[in-house]
Amino acid sequence: MTQHSRYLVTAATGEEIDLTYAKELRSNNLFPFGLHNYAIYHTPEGVFVKGTNSGNLNLMLDHYEVIEEAAAREYAHPHQRQEEE
């Protein structure tokens, strides 16, 4: 029996969401991690999920919330990665 990895997250509401087969609509996964990191997902079940980073330098995303489709498709992330000089 083959064991498959699953990408399970817990939304701010406590709801567990499976993002294993979700389509990533847009994201910023640039390293080093920080407030600029985000991803918008659309699950096969029709759920839209926004993942963001609260300033955690060890994880790309650490906060997830279910959002409406219009909000997902129009999302503009408020943070940009700051280049070190």
SS3 annotation, the chain: CCCCCCCEEECCCCCEEECCCCEEEEEECCCCCCCCCEEEEECCCCCEEEEECCCCCCCCCCEEEEECHHHHHHCCCCCCCCCCC
pLDDT given at position 82: 73
| Residue 49, domain member (yes or no) | yes
pLDDT given at position 45: 96
Q: What is the pTM of this model?
A: 0.88
| Residue 31, domain member (yes or no) | yes
| Residue 2, domain member (yes or no) | no
Total domain count, the chain: 1
pLDDT given at position 1: 56
| Residue 1, domain member (yes or no) | no
- pLDDT surpasses 80 at 73: yes
Q: How confident is the model at residue 84 (pLDDT cuts 50, 70, 90)?
A: low
| Residue 45, domain member (yes or no) | yes
Range of the domain at 64: 8-74
Q: What is the pLDDT of residues 6-58, one digit of tens each?
A: 999 999 999 999 999 999 999 999 899 999 999 999 999 999 999 999 999 99
